[in-house]
Structure 1
Amino acid sequence: MRSSAARERLLATASELFYREGIHAVGVDRIVGEAGVTRATFYRHFPSKEDLVEAYLGVEDAHIREAFARAGESGAAPRDLLALVIDELADDVARNHTRGCPFINASAEYPDAASAVRGTVARHREWFRTTLEQLLEAAEMDRPENRARELVLLRDAAMVGGYLDGWGEVRPAFVGAARRSAGLD
């Protein structure tokens, strides 16, 4: 996919609107208007709205991968790295995901598990779980697969709980539960 200023404006505009208002609630005309581009420019970069949704989820995926990379750059021992990742996940929710999980939100709007959007969500979730499992293995934790699945569920719950109850209320519970689930406490 070609990168251009217009494409980046479209993606940034759509990302903000999709996350704040919902994917199906925001039409192409609104995105085009707020991004200051023509419909032809939109369709040159994104053949369909679903292509834009997939690109939006790709940006979200890149952000979480960057969070893992930042933690990995610390040079910390595996157990300490696991603790850093949990803290980075908590920070990510506080900074970027105050309205819940964009992947869960997108899945709610695309109920067909065979859709391309749901495929994008599934690939992200598989990467996320597998990466956590690898961290747990490196830290020599028992049952890394089970612990990774628990951490994914805890993050899902934290993102929803943070949206509903406020992150200040949820963060300590998430960090504590995640540390226990990871075997750090």
Structure 2
Amino acid sequence: MDTTTKRPSPARARLIDAATRLFYEEGIHAVGVDRILEEAEVTRATLYKQFGGKENLVLAYLRGEDEMLRGMFAEAGAAVARPAELMDAVVEGIAGDIRLRHTRGCPFINAAAEYPDASGAVRRLIDEHREWFRSTLQEVATAAGLERPAEVAASLVLLRDAALVGGYLDGDERVTPAFTRTAGAVIDAHRGR
């Protein structure tokens, strides 16, 4: 039995890193394969060997974003003792994301705008991410004892979407306090009496 661990290819990692930065900063369709190859310092053959084409690289980029957000949730869950504290940590985490990481909008919304075919692989991955996000928020709201947790989750997804887009357009100084205040009001409105 082979007990060695397969290490990810450095070229693959450079391709994903370059694509992540370029796709998020400039748009997926605006960035050509040649630009990614130049930034990653790899050959076209390497791109096709690793991903088979640009769309699979787009999927790898979005999977990386999904994994990062899932990791943030896991860290937040490990850092708090009570479910109600996790609800507050989620709101703080989203506010921090608007301020520090996703300053050009939501990568999933941005990608969805560029891939309108709802049955395509990119949109299916986006739908899976959004369903995970919504169901995770509902689980957190349920554990925190909030009334109508599905409504809380739907409201927080909507508020996050708006805040990420608004943060890009209007700046986080304006949007983050409004998001935090509105998300807090949603949560408070659903606390048991």
The residue number in structure 1 matching 2:163 is 158
Matched ranges for 1:19-168 at <5 A: 19-168=24-173
Partners of 2:113 and 2:153 lie apart in 1 by 23
Amino acid at match of 2:133: F
Give SS of 1:25's match. coil
State the structure with more CA Rg.
Answer: 2
The residue number in structure 2 matching 1:173 is 178
In the TM superposition, residue 75 of structure 1 has moved relative to its aligned partner by 3.0
Partners of 1:174 and 1:101 lie apart in 2 by 15
The residue number in structure 1 matching 2:3 is none
In the TM superposition, residue 2 of structure 1 has moved relative to its aligned partner by 7.2
In the TM superposition, residue 21 of structure 1 has moved relative to its aligned partner by 0.5
The residue number in structure 2 matching 1:17 is 22
Partners of 1:90 and 1:147 lie apart in 2 by 17
RMSD: 1.4
Q: Deviations over 1:91-128 (max 9, x none)?
A: 11211100000000000000000010000100000000
Partners of 1:179 and 1:71 lie apart in 2 by 17
Give SS of 1:183's match. helix
Partners of 2:72 and 2:91 lie apart in 1 by 10
Partners of 2:13 and 2:187 lie apart in 1 by 37
In the TM superposition, residue 162 of structure 1 has moved relative to its aligned partner by 0.2
Amino acid at match of 1:86: V
Partners of 2:178 and 2:163 lie apart in 1 by 8
**TM-score under structure 2 length normalisation:** 0.92
Among all aligned residue pairs of Structure 1 and Structure 2, give the percentage whose two residues are the same amino acid.
55
Give SS of 1:73's match. helix
Partners of 1:79 and 1:149 lie apart in 2 by 18
Q: Deviations over 1:51-75 (max 9, x none)?
A: 0001100111111111111211113
Could you tell me which runs of 5 or more consecutive residues in structure 2 were left unpaired when the two chains were aligned. Answer: 1-5
Partners of 2:101 and 2:124 lie apart in 1 by 23
In the TM superposition, residue 89 of structure 1 has moved relative to its aligned partner by 1.3
CA contact (8 A) 1:67 1:85 kept: no
Partners of 1:2 and 1:120 lie apart in 2 by 25
Amino acid at match of 2:27: G
